């Protein structure tokens, strides 16, 4: 593998000059530079980023820490789209991305912080980490710059990108209310997700503002899982037949609710209307197609990467980015909608 030393030898200059020439410094004779560049090309030279990173003390690499990168999690393509967005920005600015997942056995042995420090990543993006994850605390308190997705923590070295989940939930519930629904249940995700809290808040606010009562017993925990949501919806629909609509904190759970409704022979949306959250790909392919609050997951990843790298380069004016959500009306709430 060619090194700048080899180039220096061939060019008859010092390695310093080669380094300067290749890095575009101005204090090098233009002819010398051309010659060096030419030789580098001929010798098929590639800079060794390990060596460069060692001396410069930065690697131009960011870590993407995700949890639960399993076979099952593919259904909910959230993580994947975020990843694609991160990747997009990162490669635009010539950084690289290394993926740290915590599904593995490794997760218990090494903390996120250790992973980041060993690989000398310049910063990290955290996605899908539960807010009660002990390692979250650790990495946030470390000196590693990081950007969190959907966890609102802010400090000198920490920023986040999220959407307005209270507003999103309100939009969903107001949509149901505008359709005449008065008896609306909610299937929420687990409580250690920040978004769950927020969506619950939005749910209640919407009811309150419409002068509707809040039935705490109509709020169930589906843990963001399709099967749990199905079970909970089955229970609610059986025990409280007055319920005519469901707001679910995720599309996957909404799919579970659809199954439950079908099993009970209920027509959707006539007997029971269902709205989800996220706009995963399955949503538009479901039967009936699922109304939902769409989040631009790709954009979340893209913006997270952008924010992080701006922070790294000291040109971030704010550490927070809030993205918009959009109400998508489909046939799980409105018949023959098109």
Partner DNA sequence: TTGAAAGCGCTAACAT
Partner DNA sequence: ATGTTAGCGCTTTCAA
Q: Which residues sit at the interface with DNA, rule CB under 7 A? A: 1, 3-5, 12-17, 19-20, 22-23, 26-30, 32, 45, 47-48, 51-52, 54-57
Q: Looking at residues 24 to 63 of the shown chain, list those that interact with a second copy (rule: CB under 8 A).
A: 46-51, 53-54, 59, 61
Site mask for a second copy (CB under 8 A), range 211-250, x = bound: ----------------------------------------
Q: C-beta of 66: minimal distance to a second copy in Å?
A: 9
Q: Where are the beta strands (DSSP E) in 38-164?
A: 61-66, 96-101, 123-127, 146-149, 158-163
Give backbone dihedrals phi and psi of 322, rounded to 5 degrees, phi first.
-110, 125
What is the spatial distance between Cα 331 and Cα 326, in angstroms, rounded to a whole number? 16
Which residue, 60 or 130, is less far from DNA as judged by CB?
Answer: 60
Give backbone dihedrals phi and psi of 146, rounded to 5 degrees, phi first.
-150, 155
What is the spatial distance between Cα 196 and Cα 316, in angstroms, rounded to a whole number? 29
Q: C-beta of 5: minimal distance to a second copy in Å?
A: 14
SS3 144: coil
Strands 96-101 and 61-66: parallel
Which residue, 22 or 97, is less far from DNA as judged by CB?
Answer: 22
Site mask for a second copy (CB under 8 A), range 57-96, x = bound: --x-x-------xxx-xxx-x-xxx-xxx-xx--xx-x-x
Work out what residue 312 binds among a second copy, DNA, none; the CB cut-off runs from 5 to 8 Å by kind: none
What does each C-alpha distance from 239 to 38, 57, 255 come to in angstroms? 78, 62, 20
- List the structure tokens of 24: 């575009």
Question: Is residue 18 within 8 Å of 7, Cβ to Cβ?
Answer: yes
Work out what residue 20 binds among a second copy, DNA, none; the CB cut-off runs from 5 to 8 Å by kind: DNA
Give the one residue of 3, 19, 32, 114 binding a second copy; rule: CB under 8 A.
Answer: 114
Strands 123-127 and 146-149: parallel
Which residue, 2 or 88, is less far from DNA as judged by CB?
Answer: 2
Q: C-beta of 5: minimal distance to DNA in Å?
A: 6
Give 237's contacts (C-beta < 8 A, 6+ positions apart): 243, 260, 261, 264, 266, 272
> Residues interacting with a second copy, by CB under 8 A?
1, 46-51, 53-54, 59, 61, 69-71, 73-75, 77, 79-81, 83-85, 87-88, 91-92, 94, 96-101, 103-107, 114, 117-120, 255, 281-282, 285-287, 298
């Amino acid at each position: 593998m060619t090194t700048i030393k080899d180039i220096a030898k061939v060019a008859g200059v010092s390695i310093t000059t080669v380094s300067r020439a290749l890095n575009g410094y101005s204090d090098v004779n233009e002819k010398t530079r051309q010659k060096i560049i030419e030789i580098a090309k001929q010798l098929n030279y590639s800079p060794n980023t390990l060596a460069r990173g060692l001396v410069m003390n930065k690697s131009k690499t960011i870590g993407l820490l995700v949890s639960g990168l399993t076979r099952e999690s593919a259904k909910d393509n959230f993580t994947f789209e975020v990843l694609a967005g991160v990747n997009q920005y990162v490669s635009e600015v010539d950084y690289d991305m290394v993926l740290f997942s915590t599904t593995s056995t490794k997760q218990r042995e090494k903390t996120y912080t250790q992973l980041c420090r060993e690989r000398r990543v310049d910063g990290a993006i955290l996605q899908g980490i539960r807010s009660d994850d002990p390692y979250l605390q650790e990495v946030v308190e470390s000196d590693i710059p990081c950007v969190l997705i959907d966890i609102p923590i802010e400090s000198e070295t920490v920023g986040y990108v999220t959407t307005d989940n209270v507003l999103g939930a309100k939009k969903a519930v107001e949509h149901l209310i505008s359709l005449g629904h008065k008896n609306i249940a909610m299937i929420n995700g687990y409580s250690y997700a920040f978004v769950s809290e927020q969506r619950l808040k939005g749910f209640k606010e919407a009811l309150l503002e419409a002068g509707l009562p809040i039935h705490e017993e109509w709020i169930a925990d589906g843990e963001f899982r399709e099967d749990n949501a199905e079970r909970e919806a089955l229970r609610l629909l059986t025990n409280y037949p007055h319920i005519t609509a469901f707001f679910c904190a995720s599309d996957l759970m909404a799919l579970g609710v659809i199954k439950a409704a079908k099993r009970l022979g209920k027509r959707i949306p006539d007997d029971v209307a269902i709205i989800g959250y996220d706009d995963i790909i399955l949503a538009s392919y479901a039967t009936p197609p699922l109304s939902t609050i769409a989040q631009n997951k790709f954009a979340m990843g893209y913006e997270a990467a952008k924010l992080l790298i701006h922070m790294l380069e000291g040109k971030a004016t704010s550490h927070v980015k809030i993205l918009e959500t959009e109400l998508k009306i489909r046939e799980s709430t409105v018949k023959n909608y098109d």
